[in-house]
Amino acid sequence: MSTSKQQPLLEVRNLRVEFPTRRGSLIAVDGVSMEIAPGEVLGVVGESGAGKSMTGNAVIGLLPSPGRVESGEILLEGERIDNLPYEQMRKIRGKRIGAIFQDPLTSLNPLYTVGEQLVETIQTHLDLSEKGAKDRAVDLLEEVGIPSARERIDHYPHQFSGGMRQRVVIALALCAEPRLIIADEPTTALDVSIQAQIITLIKKLCREHGTAVMLVTHDMGVIAETADRVAVMYAGRIAEIGPVAEVVKNANHPYTHGLMGSIPKVGHEVERLTQIDGSMPRLTEIPTGCAFNPRCTEKGPRCMVERPILEPVENSFVACWKFDPEGTGA
């Protein structure tokens, strides 16, 4: 758990990501702070436009143009990485932070065999001979569950199925034994049965290698199965962050509460699902005060003007005036 005294592996402090446009800046991530302890899986969950992927992209230094980190700090093992020049950041990527993206097809170069791509990545980051790198590549493929790895290593990405490709991407992310992996919607493009396989794989690897994972997804089910702690994001801000069991079963923030209720669950006979009316605001029209206030059923006058800060509630931290001693003003 991150509350222990040891130094967090990744620390994000007050991160703010902006996209300058000709009509003013769009704030995609607004004052996000989080920590990931070594070996921990932190889920970052939210609906589209919540800023969850942007947070992940900011950490690996791959914000899509023209986005930039406007303020805040990102520290990896106590060392600032958000202001590093491109070349230095490139060395950290792959070696100390691995990345797994949504679409396994676009993460692999179709013109090279998976072996060539693995060997190249291994040799970039580790001091190994061609032979040593290839052996390691085979080991990695076996570890992520690719049968007859020694033959398949010479295959091209298109010769693999979707699930197998995602396994290759995971192997690629593991090449240099990074301490942290950013996994951005790693199971979204896959069928349910493959999803289960990939989730199991990620869990197993974390356990065996002590790798920390930042798991960015919109799928509460994946989070519930995989994560230790979860950060729920809404309109670029963290609404609630805490141990996964507490957030999933006993959500504090009205948004998280509604979100959990709106997920249909097998075996729960309900005539109607809990419904949060409205939709996430566009980045151009984020309301003042609490960003969730237009959809919130428990809002008070304070929520309309003053932005709530993350405050401890039980074992979680929740950004809602409901839990403030002064209340919502209602």
Partner 1 sequence: MTEPLVKAKGIARYFDVSPPLLNRLIEGSKRQVVKAVDGVDFEIERGQTLSLVGESGCGKSTIARLVVGLYEPTGGSIEFEGVDLTALDNRKEEAKLRGRMQMIFQDPYASLNPRWRVQDIVAEPIRHKKMFDTRAEVTSRVGELLSQVGLSPADGEKYPHEFSGGQRQRISIARALASNPEFLVCDEPTSALDVSVQAQILNLMKDLQRKFGLTYLFISHDLAVVDHVSDRIGVMYLGRICELADTRELFSNPRHPYSRFLLDAIPDLDMTGKQRIPVAGEVPSPINPPSGCTFHPRCPFANDRCKSEQPELRDVDGTQVACHGVEENRLEPTG
Residues that bind partner 1 (CB under 8 A): 47-48, 161-164, 191-197, 199-200, 218-222, 224-225, 244-245, 248-249, 258-267, 270-277, 279-280
Which residue, 12 or 260, is less far from partner 1 as judged by CB? 260
CB of residue 276 vs partner 1: minimum separation in angstroms? 4
Rounded CA separation 149/89 (Å): 31
Which residue, 73 or 142, is less far from partner 1 as judged by CB? 142
* Structure token pair of residue 15: 């991160």
C-alpha radius of gyration, the chain, whole number: 21
CB of residue 248 vs partner 1: minimum separation in angstroms? 6
Cβ atoms of 179 and 38 closer than 8 Å: yes
CB of residue 146 vs partner 1: minimum separation in angstroms? 12
Cβ atoms of 188 and 135 closer than 8 Å: no
Which residue, 87 or 277, is less far from partner 1 as judged by CB? 277
Contacts 24+ apart (CB under 8 A), 221-227: 221/263, 222/43, 222/187, 222/195, 223/43, 223/45, 223/248, 224/248, 225/199, 226/41, 226/43, 226/199, 226/202, 227/41, 227/42, 227/43
Question: Could you give the 3-state DSSP secondary structure of residue 28?
Answer: strand
CB of residue 159 vs partner 1: minimum separation in angstroms? 12
Whether the CA torsion 295, 31, 101, 317 is positive or negative: it is negative
Which residue, 130 or 191, is less far from partner 1 as judged by CB? 191
CB of residue 103 vs partner 1: minimum separation in angstroms? 14
Which residue, 61 or 281, is less far from partner 1 as judged by CB? 281
